[in-house]
Amino acid sequence: MPFFDLTLKSVRLKNLSVFSEASFHFSPQLNVVIGENATGKSHFLKTIYSVLAVSAEKRRPNSGPPTKTLLQARIAEKLLAVLRPEALGRIVRRRQGRERCEIEFAFRHQPLNIGFNFATMSKSEVNIEKQPTVWLWKSPVFLPTRELLTIFPNFISVYDNHYLELDETWRDTCVLLGAPALRGPKEERIRKLLSPLEQVMGGKIELDTNGRFYLRISGQGRMEMSLVAEGWGKLAMLARLISTGSLVDKGYLFWDEPEANLNPRLIKKVAAAIMELCKNGIQVFVATHSLFLLREFEILLQKSTFRRVSTKFFGLQPGEDGVIVQQGKTIDDIGPITSLDEELSQSDRYLETE
């Protein structure tokens, strides 16, 4: 199977959730979505992830090209499982009367291009307008706001056999976390990516035969993940996904609020790890409203190590007719973001008290 370029170039949305109409043009490396609460950051990331995951899930070495019938059913199923609406039409932008949501993906490898739509009254099927002719050859990774290693034992079985009010990204990520560590010619590259993460955590991540993850600390033995700080747990997820090859070479990483539950020291380490992944061929999509994380990205981009990392920033602002999207290569290109302005204002007020 040919390993073609996976880069996602752009996504066009019409009447999806809070978006009236918007086009996103991506960097092949780092993409940062910034906005207040309720501006659609998570919906945006999860929608893109869902479509990519469908293509990767249905890839088979001896299968034929994608069919319209299969895609119509599977994209609808995935959107329902990830976004968790009661019916597919519930994620169409809310307005009086009927509306139709339109979504179009453009890739560097054009045979991957896909477009589809669904209406307010749709329950569980989409209409394919532009059909891809090939499958993705690598699964995307979605990291939720919390770490998953502590809940990993038997989680997939429980999720598959019981109704849980958790979106399917949790299951998908647990599947990737449980994959065996990669061996072979890529081991040296994996070791270079793992080394700084393991230094911060003070040890290496291990998965035992009972399906439990541990942090093995030199000279201290194994520590259960439930006893490890959540910030280290997030870094541990990254380390595990690197060791299995999910975040090596090519692919996609979607990370919703990576700064959640992390102290500033660990946010710095997460930012550096994200930049390293970008350098090594991963197209990264981050949603955040953390001024600290954004500043850390800016600081790292000034260093010679990351100066060539391509970036794109997207500012989401509430407007009269849905969320307005501003985009550019720097944070200065996207205009003011209220949540960021509040953090800056607080710093000014604090300085005034001095």
Among 248, 274, 303, residue at a domain's last position: 248
Q: Are residues 130 and 25 in the same domain?
A: yes
pLDDT, average across residues 65-73:
91
What is the rounded CA–CA span in Å between residue 178 and residue 172?
10
The domain that holds 123 is classified in CATH as 3.40.50.300
144 falls within a domain: no
Q: Are residues 188 and 267 in the same domain?
A: no
What's the pLDDT band for 58 if we cut at 50, 70, 90?
Answer: low
pLDDT digits (tens, 9 = 90+) for 110-120: 999 999 999 98
172 falls within a domain: yes
276 falls within a domain: yes
268 falls within a domain: yes
Residue 180: DSSP 8-state: P
What is the rounded CA–CA span in Å between residue 71 and residue 79?
12
Q: What is the dihedral of CA 162, 163, 166, 167, to 10 degrees?
A: 100
Q: Are residues 236 and 259 in the same domain?
A: no
pLDDT, average across residues 37-59:
89
In Å, what is the CA distance from 56 to each residue of 60, 125, 136, 215? 9, 19, 5, 30
Q: Are residues 262 and 234 in the same domain?
A: no
Q: Are residues 231 and 297 in the same domain?
A: no
pLDDT confidence of residue 188: 87
Structural domain count of the chain: 2
What is the rounded CA–CA span in Å between residue 108 and residue 4?
9
Among 186, 216, 248, residue at a domain's last position: 248
Take residue 256 and report the two structure tokens written for it.
Answer: 């919703």
What's the pLDDT band for 319 if we cut at 50, 70, 90?
Answer: confident
Among 185, 217, 248, residue at a domain's last position: 248
Q: Are residues 260 and 301 in the same domain?
A: yes
pLDDT digits (tens, 9 = 90+) for 20-41: 999 999 999 999 999 888 888 9
Q: Are residues 37 and 90 in the same domain?
A: yes
Q: Are residues 210 and 116 in the same domain?
A: no
Q: Which residues constitute the domain of residue 191? A: 154-248
Average pLDDT score, the chain: 89
What's the pLDDT band for 12 if we cut at 50, 70, 90?
Answer: very high
Determine if the pTM surpasses 0.95: no
Q: Are residues 55 and 164 in the same domain?
A: no
* Alpha helices for 58-149 (secondary structure H): 68-83
Exposed / middle / buried, residue 182 (Cβ in 10 Å: 0-12, 13-18, 19+): middle
Buried b (16+ CB within 10 A) or exposed e, 84-112: eeeebbebbbeeeeebbbbbbbbbebeeb
Q: Which long-range contacts (CB under 8 A, 24 or more apart) does 76-80 make?
A: 76/118, 76/122, 76/124, 76/125, 76/126, 77/124, 78/50, 78/51, 78/53, 78/54, 78/168, 79/47, 79/50, 79/126, 80/124
Q: Are residues 196 and 262 in the same domain?
A: no
3 falls within a domain: no
Q: Are residues 293 and 226 in the same domain?
A: no
Tell me which H or E stretch contains 10.
Answer: strand 8-16
148 falls within a domain: no
145 falls within a domain: no
What's the pLDDT band for 161 if we cut at 50, 70, 90?
Answer: very high
- Which residue bears the tokens 């990331």? 45
pLDDT confidence of residue 321: 86
Q: Are residues 100 and 222 in the same domain?
A: no
User: For residues 102 and 127, is the Cβ–Cβ distance under 8 A?
Assistant: no
